[in-house]
Amino acid sequence: MAGSADRSINSLNQAPERRIMAGDVIRCSSVRKVFANRAVLSDVNLSIHTGEKLAILGSSGSGKTTLLRIMAGLETATSGQITMNGQPVKEIPAAERSVGMVFQLSSVYPHMSVEENLAFPLRCRRFSHPQISDRVKELAGLLGITRLLKQSAASLSGGESQRVAIGKALATPPSLLLLDEPFSNLDADLRWRLLDEIKRLHDRLHLTTVLVTHNIGEALYVADRVGVLSGGQILQLAAPDLLFARPASLEVARLLYSPILNSITGELISKTDRMAEFRPLDGLPSLQLSQDGKASNNQVVVSWRPNDASLALDAASIPLAVADHWVVPAEVTNLDFWEGRRLATLTASKTVLRVPAPNSIDISSGTKVHVIVPRASIVVFSAADGRRMPLLDPGVL
């Protein structure tokens, strides 16, 4: 970059010269990747809007890192295509992609000091010494590694090394920022500070940011949209609030509400065009559900989150508006401490349920209780293929 000596440090916080133009997208078209006769990605179709924050959420082995590497041009798809600004990624020279990437495992240069690692991307862009010095200090302060600047990168702990790698990716703000679970080795406080900083930089620099993670909280907190990836396929792509409220399948719901999702299997019997009855297979009380149009009788799974239900010891504690609730008799089998409060494990006939138990309720193993489930918190899935049944609308999860 000619004339870099005349730049102010503020130019580091402005858009780089090569950018994805407004309105353009990163596109994944029928992307498939096979390793050793095993399909890691299967027909992935995804459009990433320029300027958005997209999270790809998936468990270990779901194919999310492979997809990110294909986006970056580090892997080649077995079939299908990835384009950036309408041009195949593999045809764009690496130096011209304006892509910053942070890997799950640290990518620092062990023979350099921390300071030299942070300065390296800036030196490659020929920024002046004062600019480099100022930016390195800024990054070190942000990442909490000022005391490590003179230390050899080879001597860093895993968490420290990853902080330096994040700093390298942010040194010259890229057009496309790809994050491969970079926060997994960081302590909680720094993790959330860096999430906030990534969001702030994204908005100020008009970046397109893609985060892959197995952490549900990170995905919902950072992203404008979240894609749920499982078995090499994107099962659902939606805004965080819609995704959380309307999981498209039982598999998505189990991933979002991990580690606990209460579920009861039964038969759905249509009564009228507007009403159906859910009859649990294990003899629990039935549940009336509304529907729009008469559906054929199906085996279904009725699910809800633990925090949406409550416990009652006797009939007097059951809400008066019982028509708006499903009351399920159960017996306490265990009490644990979970997310800051007591969690009761219950047996309802042959089904295991989990519901928060406030300290004001005097219960122990063997106590008979009623589980109160608001109808508005229930979602219904087909037992055959796991898909949410859109005709049923008792409420919003």
Residue 207 scores a pLDDT above 90: no
- Over the stretch 35-55, which tens digit does the pLDDT of each residue have? 988 999 999 999 999 899 999
H-only helix segments in 9-97: 64-72
For residue 332, what is the enclosing H or E element? strand 325-338
- Over the stretch 277-314, which tens digit does the pLDDT of each residue have? 899 998 899 988 876 655 566 899 999 998 889 998 87
E-strand spans in 24-137?
A: 25-35, 38-49, 53-57, 79-84, 87-88, 99-102
Q: What integer is the mean pLDDT of 8-36? A: 64
pLDDT of residue 296: 61
Residue 196 scores a pLDDT above 70: yes
The answer to whether residues 194 and 164 touch, using CB atoms and an 8 Å cutoff, is no
pLDDT of residue 160: 84
pLDDT of residue 23: 52
Domain ranges of the chain: 4-245, 260-382
Which of the listed ranges 19-23, 250-254, 314-318 does the model predict with the highest average pLDDT?
250-254
- Look over the chain and give the mean of its residue pLDDT values, rounded to a whole number: 84
Q: What integer is the mean pLDDT of 379-394? A: 79
Residue 251 scores a pLDDT above 60: yes
Same fold, 4-245 and 260-382: no
Q: What integer is the mean pLDDT of 153-174? A: 84
Let me know if domain 4-245 sits in CATH 3.40.50.150: no
| Architecture (CATH level 2) of domain 260-382 | Beta Barrel (2.40)
Residue 9 scores a pLDDT above 50: no
